[in-house]
Structure 1
Amino acid sequence: MAACVITFIGQLPRLSREAHLSGEELNPLLGGALLGWVFMAPLIFYALAFVSHLLSRLAGGRGTGYGARIALFWALLAASPLILLWGLMAGFAGPGAGLTLVGLLWCIVFLWFWIAGLRVAEWGMGE
């Protein structure tokens, strides 16, 4: 849940920019992001961790659902500084190559942490 709160905080500059440029009210945008990231996203991530655990079991993994959840949420938390940077880029620089590069870098780092965590949780590799 901490990673989802950090991701919500990272969205604040982007939402502020969108509200300013479009003339919309900022509070409804913040409320929607809060609902999505803090209340809904953890549920989606729990389901994603369960699916990754099932797929790992099909591939011969011997871990637990708890280990799959820890791997996913730790990966989100470990990659969260890049989400904060992405939010700053989106808020201050706007769309462009820099924003795309930071987003791609976040995806790579997140997947790297998640796959490494799943390998340890499901197959005991890296111990």
Structure 2
Amino acid sequence: MSLTLNIARSYRDPAQVVRGLLGQGVREPQVLFFNLLSCGLIFVAQWPRLSRDATLDPSVTFEQRMGGALFAVMFLLPLILYALAWALQGGLRLARMPVPGLWARLALFWALLAVTPLMLVQGGLSALLGPVGAVQAFGFVVAGAFIYILGFGVRAAIRLVQDGHGTPR
């Protein structure tokens, strides 16, 4: 199934989407692609806010702000996400619900990729409205959607391991 249809389906049934991805025989390059694509879309989501901030405070140019965001989102965030996936796998192992590392990374990176459309909307709202309560409240909606999709994705991976479809590593 296409990437955009899977993203839309993730809001209705994230466990089924993750099961489908795992059933297709997902490999590390695909998981890395999800990580980098989500980081790229998060970077794009920052542009409207950065433009607004540069217009309101010209002491730091738009290009300088973009350079900082590029470094943070495209170079540091992927590494941080891999560390979070490692911590997620470790936490699941401590809870006696081990899943393969690749599956934990898939659940985390897919959840992030699935909420990037909401992050793009939030970026547009922050450019139009500025730092107001409505934009911050929408941030909680984004975080809630991320936790929802991640939780059901991890649960799907755990159930596949329990059903004997995966080897915990």
TM over 0.5: yes
8 Å contact 1:61–1:123 — kept in the other structure? no
Alignment of 1:44-55 (within 5 A): 44-55=80-91
Aligned AA for 1:22? D
Aligned AA for 1:87? G
CA deviation after TM superposition for structure 1 residue 47, in Å: 0.3
Alignment of 1:1-127 (within 5 A): 1-23=36-58, 24-124=60-160
CA deviation after TM superposition for structure 1 residue 122, in Å: 2.9
CA deviation after TM superposition for structure 1 residue 96, in Å: 1.2
Deviation sequence 1:7-58 (CA, Å, 0-9, x none): 0000000000111101121101001101111111000000000001000011
Aligned AA for 1:53? Q
Q: State the identity as a percent.
A: 37
Query: TM-score, with normalisation over the residues of structure 1?
Result: 0.94
For structure 1, the 5+ residue unaligned runs are none
8 Å contact 1:14–1:88 — kept in the other structure? yes
Q: Against the structure 1 CA distance between its residues 90 and 15, is the aligned structure 2 distance closer, same or farther, given a 3 Å change threshold?
A: same
**Alignment RMSD (CA, Å):** 1.4
Deviation sequence 1:67-123 (CA, Å, 0-9, x none): 010001000000011100110011111111220121010000001111111112234
Instruction: Indicate the SS of the match to 1:117.
Output: helix
8 Å contact 2:48–2:124 — kept in the other structure? yes
8 Å contact 2:89–2:98 — kept in the other structure? no
Query: TM-score, with normalisation over the residues of structure 2?
Result: 0.71
